[in-house]
Structure formats: C-alpha cells, structure tokens
Structure 1
Amino acid sequence: MKQFGAFVKKEFYHILRDRRTLFILLGMPVVQIIIFGFALTNEVKNAKVLVFDNAKDVASTSIIHEIDASQYFDVQQNVTSYSQVESAFKRGAVKLAVVFPSGFNNDLEHVNKAPIQLIADASDPNTANTLINYASAIIMDYQDRITNEHRLPYTISTEMRMLYNPQLKGAYTFVPGVMAMVLMLVCTMMTAITIVREKEMGTMEVMLVSPVQPLKVVIAKAVPYLLLSMVNVASILLLSVFVLDVPIHGSLFLLVGESLLFILTCLAFGLLISTVTDSQQIAMFISLVGMFLPTIMLSGFMFPIENMPILLQVISHIIPARWFFVIVTSVMIKGLGLGAIWKETLILMGMMLFLLTLSIKKFKIRLA
C-alpha cells in the first residue's frame, strides 16, 4: 500500500509541475459555468421594444408601463408611424414592436374586446416566439385584473404554473450539463492521455516492472484525477448556488455520491481508451468523438432527446452523461431522492463495472 501511495504522490507531483494542465483542470469548470450561466442562456432579457401607441389612453399607458417594468423588455421609444417601426426592424434596433389601435380603452370598456398587435423579428424564430409569449403573458395578466369582477359567461381562463423553475432560468439546465461535460473531459480525456504519454515516452515499461502490480500502477495514475474531479464538483456547486442562484433542493450527500459514481464511470472509460491506443493524438480523438461530443449532443443537455430521430434516441442510451444529467436535474433541481433515480443509478453502475472489467481484460503488462 505504501508503494501504491508513492505512485499516486508521483502523479500528483507531475500534475502540479504542469501549470498549464493544472489551470485547465481547475480553471475550466469555473470559466464554463460562468459562460453557460450568463452568456449562453436560452432566456431572453432586456429585449429592446418599440411602442406605436395610437390610443394614448389609460389602458395602453398601463400596459406599456407593465411591459417596461418587466425584466424581459426595455421599451426604447414611442413612434408615430408604421414606417418608423419598419425602419427600426431593418436597423436591428428592436426585437419587438407593440401597436395599440386608436380608441383602445374605449373598445375595451364598451365592446369588451380590443386588439393589440405584436410584431417580432422572426429572423431568429426562437427569440421571436419567446418574446411574443412573454408580451402575451403580460397583456393577459392585465386583462385578468381589469375583468376580475366582470367576466363574461362561458369565459375560459387558463392558469400557467412552472414547476421547479418558475422564473425559467437557463442556468437550471446548464449547471447539470456543465457538470457532466467537465467531468467527462477531465476524467476520460486526461486519464487516457496521461497513461498513453507514459507509453510514448517509454517510462511506462519502467513502472510496469516495479514491485507494484501493473494494474495498481495504472489505477494510481487515475486517483489524482478522481480527487481533482471532486474539487471541480465542489467548485461548480458553489458557483451555482452563490453566483447563479441555482439552489440544491435535494440531498447534497446523494448528489456528491452520484457525481462520484459518474466520475468512476468516466475514469473507467479513460482507462479503456489508454489500453487500446498508443499515441496521445489518437487517445484525444477517441475521447472527444467517443464521449465529449456525444455528451453535448445526445445527453439532453443542449437538445431534447425526444425531438431526435429514433436511431439517435437509441444511441443516447449508451451515453453515461444522459443518465447523469437526469440524476443531477432530479436531485439538485427537483429535490427528489434515491427512490426516483434508482434506475439511472443502476445503469451508471452497470456501465462503470462493464468499462472497468473490459479495461482490465484489455490491459497489457507487456507493451512490446
């Protein structure tokens, strides 16, 4: 055991001497969580809005104030013609225009209905659809208030309720995805590359003839990345809670335990890659193509799996990050316990054991 500890200590020294690698391992999670949390968000905030108010009455003024007060909109100016609206869209100065017809308040009080035109820049259809929905919700909220005691017969009202993420913050999706992406990159790629590098330099043969069993030598090289990955988990969770305001609703102990299981799965895959490759370039390529890109594309992190073709949905079942993403979302965001994620936990455990067993069988104690 003392000799095994010496190998682990040696690997730690090797990592600490390589400042660039150390910066990537510890700095990358911080950079990614900040970028995904603030820049790459699917939320729309402070969208520039143009108002064409032909009514200039109490009702139109109240709705304009409510739109401007929302965190999603920033009312830029009031215009007096459709040509000004069109010109603003052509310049890209606004994303949405709200048009009130003349006599808006009068129609609302006497006819019980009045139209509002919402014009959006649909060159980005997702943003346009989101802005239309936001503005419609504000207008419907105003309508519900003024008709609260004067509802027409057979009026159907809908109530919208967003569970777990009522403010629709993008960080609630990105945090579990970034955790999977960072752990996959650190554990799989770095573990595979560090072992293959020893093969290329010829030092692996020296370590394999040491008194320590060859398999323990390889495991000793993976231990530092296990500990560094746990540090990354801690940094991501701290940034999520204190910077991005994403609370941990479930058990922190369960979340850390599931993260450890995913880390072991990634380490096992990295060991498998190291046993079947002899160059760092090939190991990096397999890590990126084999796990990192599928983690982004097929885990449900960036794109809904339900929208994918059947073939890709089937392939996604063999991606460990898919199950980890579900686990983190269930525990951290929804506050669920082990009873809700036992199936995903067993799948990850099975993947870890399968990859570890395959790595041991493929491992060669002689490199020649």
Structure 2
Amino acid sequence: MDDLRQKYLDAIAGAADENSLEDLRVQAVGKKGEVSLKMRELGKMTPEERQVAGPKLNALKDEISSALSAKKAALGDAALDARLATEWLDVTLPGRPRRTGTIHPVSQVTEEVTAIFADMGFAVAEGPQIESDWYNFDALNIPSHHPARAEMDTFYMHREDGDNRPPHVLRTHTSPVQIRHMQDNGAPCRIIAPGRVYRADYDQTHTPMFHQIEGLAIDKDISMANLKWVLEEFFAAFFEIDGIKTRFRASHFPFTEPSAEVDIQCSWVDGQLKIGEGDDWMEVLGSGMVHPKVLTAAGVDPEEWQGFAFGMGIDRIAMLKYGIPDLRAFFDSDLRWLRHYGFGALQQPNLHGGVSG
C-alpha cells in the first residue's frame, strides 16, 4: 500500500495538465482503479484483517483524492496566470470611437405617421404580402380587364401545369388588409395598414418594392367631410405646417365611390420644393368613400354602414418632407446616404409628427 501511495503521489505531482491528471484519477480511484480494486478485496478478508486494511485503504483514497484536488487547483491557477500575462488590458486607455447606426427614413416616417393617426383613434392592422387574386383584386371591385391586373404591372406567382386556380400575387397595395380586417372584426372600425407593396416599375420615383399606408374608417354616419378633416389634420401634423391647404379633385378608383385625388399646396423656388406655400399643387394620395361592393365582399352591410378610405406612399411623403430626390436611393444600402438622411436613436416621433431628442 505504501508503494501504491508513493506511486500516485509522485505521478500527481508531476502531472503537466488537467487531462493527465484526469487519467491518473481514473487509474487510482476510478471505478476500476487500483485503490478501488483493493477495496473490493476487503470482502475476502477476515474481520481482523479488515479492521487493519480498511482504515488504511480509506486513508490512502482520501490522500490521493486530496492530492488530485490540490494539483487541479494549482494547474487552474497556473493557466489563469498565463492568460493574465498575455490577455491584459489597460483599462485607463480612452474608449475607441464607434460609429452609431441610424434609423432608416422609411422606418422613421412610418412611426411618425402611425403616431399621428393613433392620436386620432386609428389602430394598426397588418396582412400578408403574398395575397390571393381575390383579396388583391376581386374583393376590391377591380374588374378583370383593369390595367392593374396586367403582368406588366403585377408580380404573379407560379402555378404548376394543370393548376387552373388564379395565381397568387405580391400585393400591389395594402388595400387587401381592409377586407381581411372587416371580415375578422366587422364594423365599426378605424384602422391604418402600413406595409410593403410590389409593382413592376423602376425609375426615379418608382421601385419594384415600396411602402404604402392605407387608411379605413367605417361607421354609420361617416362622410367625405370626415375624410377631408382627417387628411388636413394629418398633413398639418406631418409637415408641421398649420393651415396647410389641400385640394380634392374628382377621380376614379374601383374600390371607392365617389373618389378623389388629394393635392397639397406647394411652390418651387430655385429648384427647391417647399410644402405649404405658393400657388402650385402636388398630388400626394388617393381617397374616397368605400364602394358598397367592397363592403359587401368584406361581409359588411352597405345599407347600414359606410366609410372612407385613403392610401399614400410612405416613401413618397418621406421624400417630400425630408428633401430626398431619388426613391431608388432608399434601397441602395449606401452607408453614406444612410448617415446623411438617417435619424438618431433618440429622435423618436411625437404625437404631432415631428421628432424629439
């Protein structure tokens, strides 16, 4: 037993790393280790022999286990000292400056618009970006011969040969959210529906994917006067111009009747657009009273309920408010552009459409 004790104490003292130490532990006091095997032999001894050998074996096991623990702690301390010697850091050095990210104008303007309409009692509704032909066109009273349904304007999804169902589309507007919301919640309702939409177009003022916000208010006595007030209040808050003038022009949209395009007062001075002054007008959105066929498609009785709807491009009003000349730059991921037109994390929209911080 003395030889066994000296053998393992010397080996433990000379262990170079924790892996070697673990091997020694298994050889000595593991389930099949030498000390463990000797302890199993106690059962074959006489009571007198066990009284002598038992305490000695327990003492040997405890001494080896203690030596293993002490050596493991020493190896851990040595490893930590080595790391501290190579991985030190001077905490008195000044911090390294890092560029902070900015909030994209689309995200900022979406929050601004949401805050303004929330203050007027509008909730936010959302819907899928891949829509069925029925939700995107039929339920909105868009006839089969309408130009918007042509492949040159709309992205259609693929159908397998022999599948005669109308193909799904990448939604061309957020108007399908109106139908889905009324189907699920009925009337009355007052919602806005911001989100991505897709059309096959690309130039300075059009991109294949852009952002739109839809507004819908349904009740028993809503009129065009309510629509006019809501939009004038929105423009005054968003552009931060009291008394901004608007102009409603008769138009035609399949999903509203009567329909109107809305212009806001503006002027061009030395090539610069100024909103809220001058004698010129700029078209910013389409609107009107919800067509009875749209209400019927959504499961709302047009004999009992009526309301207005409007839709505008988030990217477009962002360009107007913040003087951004090219819509395509919104999606170029140019860090220089983002640093110039982006917003700081503390510049949060307030209820009046401006930014604070």
| Higher strand content, 1 or 2 | 2
TM over 0.5: no
Please state which structure has a larger fraction of its residues in helix.
1
TM-score of the two chains, using structure 1 as the length reference: 0.19
Higher relative contact order (CA 8 A, sep 6+): 1
